């Protein structure tokens, strides 16, 4: 069971209260003349039930009210909600007062203060109406999921004056953007084509799909890893061949490559031998080599100097011998008796004196003494040269030995370092291989993951079968057919153009359709305001018959504003049938209220119908249904309340 309205409470700026009571079930009529505030009731109730905007018309009411209050009742559970009047020109209030429990008296204006927010109010009223967690999801996926709330439920509870007489707009607020689609999305829930278990299945399906996405991502990653591993296997095997841990002729086989690589990864790397440090030896040999090379250079320099000196001495001896031979030729001359002025050959007198024989002989003696000295030194020089050459040979041999030792030391050092590098490379490779096998090798849990993936897909299929869209559509068709039958039954109480024909509710276009032999006739193509009002009334009554029959979470009240407007003249004051000129119109008004009375009796005990109208019929049942009559000085807001 959903809630009904127990009273409407208005507060003046001076703290006075105006209480409009309602019976919680059955027909409630507020009758009265125009401009007494009847039409404002729907906007006030809508505002107190959580609507974001305040839509009461500008003027008298906005100026004289400080707070709007609404008393709700549901199975003995009572709630009082008050919202502040935002004032002239404003569209949104900021203060909300909420009180729950048995309400024997309404709080004074001075006890009312903001104790909740508009958002919290809307959530509470949604829950109070019995609307559970729900979600409509577009089959096309082009719209965000929509959860039904109290605002959507109230589309079925209000028929404002401009709506009830419209040929284009069957439901409340259907002229606003996005509202028609919201109503189409939420009607399957409100009408019961999908129940609470449907949303439990949706929640379960969400969890299963979330798990499925995770498992599919893991499986995709595993398959991607396997694909990537194929090239990595080739690279790591080639690396193993380079470090000598895998034979050069080994070829990977899909079924056996990982077990083989696991065995290779278990290979133990011997601890590297201590590598002798050849640096000092090499340095010593290098120093000896430099010393010997320097010594050889010096010996060669000495040898060149000795040989050069010996060569120069030989040249001097040769020249001196030539001079001696020339000087010895003086034996051919005569003695130098004349001091060198007489030629020793022809005895002729010389104008220029020449050396005498004594001088020549003295020169010859000098040359001979020099030659003797040279001849004495030559054997020593020869011996010196031989000695140097011997020392050069010894130094050369020593240098060769040192250089050989140096080459051996360098070679052994390089070999030792290469061996150490090889061991390091093998150790690094084995570490990399172990990590590779662990990450990319066959996982024992892969089969378990595959089984879980199959199981989740199976569960999703089971849940989806319970959420069969065709089944939901079939249920909706059944619900609409039953409501259509009730609409047809109600139409027999009214003298409408297609009364008694087959009527149905077209939820795709949100209109009423009469199926005739000439084809379907939608409300838009039906003529006269009498038809439009009549079909609005019987359609909403049929809907609430179904909602209350199935105990759906839609508020248990329905408010009609001016359903007889098509029959009364605009300046109506009293509202009696005698003020209607045509008998057919009188009959139509009588039939309209009798239909409302009959529907309330049929839908009882959980249905509250509030009618705001000019009419005042003289039938006893009509008089009993009147909760207030606003004529003369009486209206929704007392005329003596002051403006703010």
**The pLDDT value given to residue 412:** 66
Pairwise CA distance, residues 159 & 162, whole Å? 8
**The pLDDT value given to residue 337:** 47
SS3 state at 262: helix
- Label the pairing between strands 502-506 and 511-516: antiparallel
**The pLDDT value given to residue 430:** 77
SS3 state at 279: helix
- Label the pairing between strands 17-21 and 4-11: antiparallel
Query: Residue 468 CB: number of other CB atoms within 10 A?
Result: 11
Pairwise CA distance, residues 537 & 564, whole Å? 11
Pairwise CA distance, residues 14 & 209, whole Å? 59
User: Which residue is listed with tokens 């010894």?
Assistant: 394
**Closest alpha carbon to 98 in 84, 24, 7:** 84
**CB-based contact 69:80 (threshold 8 Å):** yes
User: Which residue is listed with tokens 């007062």?
Assistant: 97
What percent of the chain is modeled with pLDDT above 90?
39
166 by Cβ neighbours in 10 Å (0-12 / 13-18 / 19+) ranks as: buried
**pLDDT < 70 stretches in the chain:** 1, 133-146, 196-200, 202-203, 222-231, 253-256, 258, 269-280, 282, 285, 306, 309-348, 350-381, 406, 409, 412-420, 438-447, 467-470, 500, 569-576, 578-579, 581
Pairwise CA distance, residues 83 & 44, whole Å? 9
């Amino acid at each position: 069971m959903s809630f009904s309205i127990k009273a409407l409470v208005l507060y003046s700026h001076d703290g006075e209260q105006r209480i409009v009571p309602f019976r919680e079930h059955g027909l409630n009529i507020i009758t009265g003349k125009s401009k007494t505030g009847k039409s404002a009731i729907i906007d006030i109730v809508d505002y107190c039930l959580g609507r974001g905007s305040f839509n009461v018309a500008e003027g008298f009411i906005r100026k004289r009210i400080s707070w709007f209050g609404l008393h709700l009742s549901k199975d003995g559970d009572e709630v009082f909600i008050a919202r502040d009047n935002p004032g002239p020109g404003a569209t949104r209030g900021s203060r909300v007062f909420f009180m729950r429990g048995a309400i024997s008296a309404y709080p004074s204006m001075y006890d009312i203060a903001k104790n909740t927010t508009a958002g919290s109010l809307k959530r509470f009223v949604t829950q109070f109406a019995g609307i559970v967690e729900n979600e409509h999801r577009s089959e096309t996926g082009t719209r965000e999921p929509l959860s039904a709330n109290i605002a959507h439920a109230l589309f079925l509870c209000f028929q404002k004056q401009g709506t009830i007489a419209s040929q284009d707009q069957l439901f409340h607020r259907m002229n606003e953007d996005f509202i028609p689609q919201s109503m189409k999305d939420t009607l399957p829930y409100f009408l019961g084509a999908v129940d609470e278990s449907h949303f439990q299945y949706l929640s379960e399906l969400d969890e299963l799909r979330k798990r499925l996405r995770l498992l599919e991502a893991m499986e995709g990653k595993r398959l991607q890893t396997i694909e990537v591993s194929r090239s990595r296997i080739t690279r790591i095997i080639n690396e193993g061949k380079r470090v000598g841990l895998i034979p050069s002729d080994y070829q990977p086989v899909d079924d056996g490559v990982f077990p083989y690589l696991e065995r290779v990864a278990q290979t133990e790397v011997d601890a590297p031998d201590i590598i002798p440090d050849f640096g000092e030896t090499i340095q010593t040999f290098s120093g000896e080599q430099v010393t010997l090379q320097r010594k050889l250079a010096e010996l060669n320099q000495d040898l060149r100097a000795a040989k050069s000196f010996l060569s120069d001495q030989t040249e001097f001896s040769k020249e001196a011998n030539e001079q001696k031979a020339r000087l010895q030729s003086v034996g051919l001359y005569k003695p130098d008796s004349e001091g060198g002025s007489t030629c020793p050959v022809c005895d002729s007198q010389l104008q220029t004196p020449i050396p005498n024989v004594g001088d020549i002989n003295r020169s010859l003696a000098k040359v001979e003494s020099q030659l003797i000295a040279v001849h004495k030194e030559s054997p020593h020089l020869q011996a010196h040269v031989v000695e140097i050459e011997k020392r050069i040979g010894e130094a050369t041999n020593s240098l060769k030995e040192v250089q050989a030792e140096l080459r051996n030391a360098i070679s052994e050092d390089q070999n030792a370092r290469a061996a150490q590098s090889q061991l390091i490379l093998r150790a690094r490779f084995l570490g990399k291989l172990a990590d590779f096998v662990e990450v990319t090798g066959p996982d024992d849990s892969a089969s378990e993951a595959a089984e879980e993936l199959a199981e989740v897909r199976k569960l999703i299929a089971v849940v989806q079968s319970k959420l069969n869209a065709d089944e939901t559509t079939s249920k909706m068709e059944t619900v609409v057919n039953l409501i259509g039958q009730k609409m047809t039954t109600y139409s027999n109480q009214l003298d409408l153009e297609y009364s008694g024909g087959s009527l149905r509710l077209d939820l795709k276009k949100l209109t009423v359709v009469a199926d005739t032999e000439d084809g379907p006739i939608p409300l838009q193509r039906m003529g006269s305001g009498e038809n439009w009002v009549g079909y609005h009334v019987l359609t909403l009554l049929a809907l609430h018959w179904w909602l209350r029959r199935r105990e759906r979470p839609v508020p248990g009240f329905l408010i009609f504003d001016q359903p007889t407007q098509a029959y009364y003249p605009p300046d109506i004051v009293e509202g009696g049938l005698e003020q209607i000129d045509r008998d057919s119109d009188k009959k139509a008004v009588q039939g309209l209220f009798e239909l409302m009375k009959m529907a309330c009796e049929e839908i009882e005990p959980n249905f509250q119908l509030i009618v705001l109208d000019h009419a005042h019929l003289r039938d006893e049942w009509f008089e009993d249904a009147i909760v207030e009559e606003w004529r003369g000085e009486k209206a929704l807001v007392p005329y003596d309340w002051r403006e703010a």
